[in-house]
Structure 1
Amino acid sequence: MVIVSAKELLSSYLITLKLRETFGANLPKTSTSTSTDSAGLLLDQQPHHHQPQDLSLRNQHQDPASTSVHVVIPNDKAEIKPIEEGRPDERTPSRGKPVWIISIRDSLNQARQDDAARSWSKVWIYRIPHYLRDGEDRAYIPQIVSLGPYHHGRKRFGQMDRHKWRALHRVLRRTRHNIKLYLDAVNELEEKARACYDGQIALSRNKFTEMMVLYGCFILELFRGVEEGFEKLGYPSNDPVFSMTGSMHRIQRDMIMLENQIPMFILDRLLVIQLGDRYQKRWVEKLALGFLDPLNPTDESLTQSDRNKLQSSRSMKTFDPFSDCQSELHCLELFRRSLLSSCPKHVPRNGTKPRSNKNWVADKRRQQLIHCVTELREAGIKFRMRKTDRFWDIEFKNGVLHIPRILIHHGTQPLFLNLIAFEQSHFGCSNEVTTYAVFMDNLINSPEDVGYLHNCGIIEPWLGSNAEVADLFNRLCQEVVFDISDSYLSTLFAEVNQYYGHPWNAWRASLKHKHFSNPWAIISLIAAVVLLLLTGAQTFYGVYGYYRPASS
């Protein structure tokens, strides 16, 4: 009996070693404790001479993926303890905590660090929200040149990147400066510049500084070339980029895209180094406005006398886009401020006062703020072009809408879309451009509306048909959210709708449209009235003569 027991013990031990060799690579470390594990169930212990049979039975009824085998080998016994556990990837052997719990804690720690390290009030350069980007990628993504970290390093901009290095080389050769001078100056502003961007920028400090210097010098060469002349800066007249060729307009459009911006203080620091004693305060902002001026949608046909009259008639002081600008300003916001010169700001309501949901427009199709041109004309409202250099300066007086002239070209849609995206993204930003876009979107419902406004001189389409212009305005505010009562046109909306709702205005307009639309209609109406009067007179005298015959 002793010999038989030893053989059984030896056989059990060999089977145990084989099982350990087979499953050891896929299981947690073995434990020498006989206590019940907190994540599993310890099975009943069985005599060793029955262990192989019991193990085979368990393997037939248990899922191998959910069962692990812990082997404990004392001096004279071999004991197998199956323990029911969760999935192997949900448990850390060292701490005994599920991996997903650790992942949640790591994410919360990262969020705490982000909140502590970032100040959202410093963010000025945003990524376009997905709800605005849908279907309009070409209006938000630069086409030939990237000027910020969001699109840095993309292969599609590789050709233009070579011209950026060429511009930097030209600057260093012209100023006889060492590149280290620019790198050290911008490196001091690295943290401030990085904080202007929304989200984490996956660039090291040195790479970020290098990018700011390279892109900044390239932008300044464009600014100065347009202002002073590229040949004066040393570029040949047939230069593919640094000359007044067709590519310049495409670069200008890329430079007003929200995701393609560089903080103005970076450009200012680089310009100070380049010019030295010749530098003048706010020079870089003035150069930027001069470079972006071709994208201005306002009327440029005004004579100098008209401009002088407008300036003298304005009670407000001349607009200075730099008077209250923050250091985080960029080209898009600077251009926006210049467009909105002296724009009447609606006094914002107290932030503690709850806002009514009915005043919010999430989709222009849900609420019509003002009727379209065709419907307003039927109600007797007239349209006149207003002579002003400010496209947003709309006025309603005595049933007449006075709307400034606006130029429609290839850069109009990207300009308005990016200005609207900035107003939608930046906390505390006013919504003048958004309000104007909503006004024009509601006003135009068909190509016929565009055609009538064009005949009035209000819309000047430099390219495209009336249908394309109508589609342009109808696509500007697909997912725009803004407060109607907190807009500078809120009073105008109310006045126009009140005039439209008066029935007498509609009757008078219908009469004029049907009977006084052209001279022939007027002549016909007068003839009909005269004929009616003569017929009435003839009838009167006939009846009068019947009842009162003439005395003999």
Structure 2
Amino acid sequence: MTTESFINNPETEKRWLIQCTNSFKLDKETAIDFSPYICQVPKTIKESKIQSYIPQKIGLGPYHCFRPEFFVTERHKLTIAKNCMDFSEVQHLITETLIFFEPIIRAQYDKFLDIDTHALCWILTIDSLYLLHFLNSYIPYQEIDPEGRSLAQEKDSERRSLAQDIIMLENQIPCVVLIEIQMALNQPYSKLFKDLFFNFCKAHSPLQLSEKKKFRSFKFCKARSPHLLAYMHQLIVNNRAIIEEEEEEYDDSKCYFDGYNRSFEDHIVVKVVKNIAGIIPGGDIVEKPMSLMSQLPWDHITGLITKEDENKPQIEEIEIPSVTELEEIAKVKFKLTEGGIRDIKFVEEGSEHTFYLPQITLNSDTEVIVRNLVAYEAATASPESSLELAEYVDFMCGNCGYHKRC
């Protein structure tokens, strides 16, 4: 059975040749990570709620930039870009810098980009200038004077609407491009993570973020956060209540950056994402215990409920009890943990049972952010990875009684 080649016209062949040539021009010491970090979400997942994965107002990067409905916003992006750089500066940036990073940039996308080299560089330059301009509008809340807070709240709704598009997996801009743009603008590129990314995440993350200094370190983050969505994921998953010495030995690379040439269509990944496709609202129950949730004493927790209802049919999977069941039947109390999802615990003290869960803040952009965080986690996972955020989301869906409604 024959399949159609992606090289089906002379222009595509020419682009492929240029890409190969640029790859050979790279310094031999420059390692290219061929693990894609900007992935197109499978149709089977998008069908659950397509507007949560496909940008509605603005397209960033090559996947959505040519959509007709974004022509108006394209003009807006161009206006901002021209205010930041003139034509000669952009030309110099592309011909002297970005064009040589092309193999590294293309490797971050999970699909072959049938786009001319210069066109791709222009797209990423304009979109990067727009994104940096947008991120620079974020000021830490404590630095806003009381009189300005009411105005900031008025702008919050509009900004959250844009932030939904900006945080989407398919709309991510590689950090390698953002860093080069900042250098070209003579801005301190070290503030990309500690200020620009962090302030955005602080404003929009539904879960509390890690305050550890290393997650605001340029050197540390550059190696572990290929884009904005990845950075938010790092801050959420690594938020711990108590920072101990052994935590410094945690190697993120084994979980998310292990060098595998991962495919987002991998059947394991698709199965996991399908399982949590109905998040907020909706979501299936966990089909089997995974690393984070398997640490909880489920036999005992469910036993507190089932012994009150001996006629309840037994199932092989762990069916997560709802909050109502835990509170009213099992008399379980709920309290906030000082940390994040890795600090979830179930504590017994005599006849009292307490569940410690992290604080979660729900806003108009929460659903989109959570869906894309989970999609990113699945897209970059190896078979050995633990999908910690996906487990937490699935747990919360079951806990809130949504698992029958997806």
TM tier, shorter chain? 0.5 to 0.7
Taking the aligned partners of 2:191 and 2:208, their CA distance within structure 1 comes to 26
The CA deviation at 1:189 is 1.4
* C-alpha spacing 1:412/1:214, structure 2 compared with 1 (3 Å): same
The CA deviation at 1:221 is 1.1
Taking the aligned partners of 2:204 and 2:376, their CA distance within structure 1 comes to 17
Structure (1 or 2) with the larger CA radius of gyration? 1
Taking the aligned partners of 1:265 and 1:192, their CA distance within structure 2 comes to 8
Amino acid at match of 1:298: L
Q: Is this contact kept in 1: 2:193–2:216, CA < 8 A?
A: no
Give structure 2 stretches of 5+ with no counterpart. 24-31, 141-153, 241-246, 259-267, 276-283, 288-316
Give structure 1 stretches of 5+ with no counterpart. 1-99, 229-242, 301-306, 312-316, 352-356, 446-469, 479-552
The CA deviation at 1:142 is 0.8
Match of 2:72 in 1: 159
TM-score by length of 2: 0.65
* C-alpha spacing 1:281/1:261, structure 2 compared with 1 (3 Å): same
Amino acid at match of 1:403: L
Q: Map 1:119-518 onto structure 2 (within 5 A).
A: 121-172=34-85, 178-184=89-95, 185-227=97-139, 244=155, 246-275=157-186, 279-284=188-193, 286-298=195-207, 320=215, 322=217, 323=220, 325-326=222-223, 329-342=226-239, 363=275, 364-365=284-285, 367-388=317-338, 390=340, 393-398=343-348, 399-428=353-382, 430-445=386-401, 470=402
TM-score by length of 1: 0.49
* C-alpha spacing 1:182/1:225, structure 2 compared with 1 (3 Å): farther
Q: Is this contact kept in 1: 2:381–2:387, CA < 8 A?
A: no
Taking the aligned partners of 2:84 and 2:163, their CA distance within structure 1 comes to 21
The CA deviation at 1:378 is 4.7
Taking the aligned partners of 2:224 and 2:322, their CA distance within structure 1 comes to 41
* Secondary structure class of the residue paired with 1:409: coil
The CA deviation at 1:326 is 2.6
* Secondary structure class of the residue paired with 1:201: coil
The CA deviation at 1:318 is 5.1
The CA deviation at 1:410 is 1.3
Moved over 6 A (4+): 117-120, 344-349
The CA deviation at 1:296 is 1.6
* Secondary structure class of the residue paired with 1:329: coil
Amino acid at match of 1:422: Y
Taking the aligned partners of 2:222 and 2:356, their CA distance within structure 1 comes to 31
Taking the aligned partners of 1:154 and 1:109, their CA distance within structure 2 comes to 23
The CA deviation at 1:394 is 1.6
The CA deviation at 1:157 is 1.0
Deviations 1:150-188 (A, max 9, x none): 111111111111111111111026xx9632222222222
Amino acid at match of 1:413: E
Q: Is this contact kept in 2: 1:147–1:262, CA < 8 A?
A: yes
Q: Is this contact kept in 2: 1:212–1:266, CA < 8 A?
A: yes
Amino acid at match of 1:427: A
Percentage identity across paired residues of the two chains: 20
The CA deviation at 1:321 is 5.5
Amino acid at match of 1:134: E
Matched residue count: 307
* Secondary structure class of the residue paired with 2:356: strand
Taking the aligned partners of 2:131 and 2:104, their CA distance within structure 1 comes to 20
* C-alpha spacing 1:109/1:264, structure 2 compared with 1 (3 Å): closer
* C-alpha spacing 1:438/1:419, structure 2 compared with 1 (3 Å): same
Q: Is this contact kept in 2: 1:263–1:330, CA < 8 A?
A: yes
Amino acid at match of 2:204: L
The CA deviation at 1:190 is 1.8
CA RMSD of aligned residues (A): 3.9
Q: Is this contact kept in 2: 1:261–1:332, CA < 8 A?
A: yes
Amino acid at match of 2:215: D
Taking the aligned partners of 2:331 and 2:129, their CA distance within structure 1 comes to 52
Q: Is this contact kept in 1: 2:90–2:125, CA < 8 A?
A: no
Q: Is this contact kept in 2: 1:265–1:327, CA < 8 A?
A: no
Amino acid at match of 1:156: E
